[in-house]
Every structure is written in C-alpha cells, then in structure tokens.
C-alpha cells in the first residue's frame, strides 16, 4: 500500500537563475539526473534583469520532486518554488 507522501504529483517548478552563467552547467546536470520526472521545460533569458526564468513540468512522487527542488535550491544564486497537485 502506498502512503500519501509517495502519491504521484503533477506540477510546475519555477526556477530563477540570478547568475545564469555560473549556475547553468550544474543546473542542467541536475535536470539530466532527474529527467525521468521532467515532462517539459521552458526557459526564457530575461536580459533586462540579467536572469533566466525556467519552468519545469514535473510528474513524480513528493520524494522525487522534493529531491530535485532541494538540490536546485542549494545552487548559489538560484531561487526555486514548486506548485503540485495530486493526480
């Protein structure tokens, strides 16, 4: 029996890279490691502010999505927020 913590979730992860040139390589490595839960990705360089804004569509358990967002949040100069729903 599956616990409610490990139910499948569908959601959007919003990421802002405040220093894209420094964080982009590590960020992409993390996405590659968690590619099994990433359904889609859209990134926009916001040149006027010198940042990159990225949205990820994710489909996985709380633990899987939390592992991804936790690692992203540890990158220097990166902000991350997730909005999830039970599916």
CB 87 within 8 A of CB 59: yes
Given this model, what pLDDT does residue 1 score? 43
Given this model, what pLDDT does residue 6 score? 74
Is the model's pLDDT at 11 over the cut of 70?
yes
Better pLDDT: 5 or 26? 26
d(CA 64, CA 87): 15
d(CA 26, CA 75): 8
All structural domains of the chain = 13-86 (3.30.70.1150)
Task: Kindly report the pTM of this predicted structure.
Answer: 0.89
Given this model, what pLDDT does residue 86 score? 86
Give the model confidence (pLDDT) of 31-74 as tens digits.
Answer: 999 999 999 999 999 999 999 999 999 999 999 999 999 999 99
């Amino acid at each position: 029996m599956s616990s409610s913590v490990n139910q499948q979730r569908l959601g959007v992860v919003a990421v802002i890279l405040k220093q894209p040139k420094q964080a982009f390589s590590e960020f992409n490595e993390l996405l590659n490691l968690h590619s099994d839960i990433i359904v889609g990705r859209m990134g926009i360089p916001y040149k006027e502010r010198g940042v990159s804004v990225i949205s990820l569509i994710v489909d996985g358990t709380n633990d899987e999505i939390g592992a991804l967002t936790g690692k992203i949040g540890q990158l220097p100069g990166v902000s991350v927020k997730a909005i999830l729903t039970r599916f």
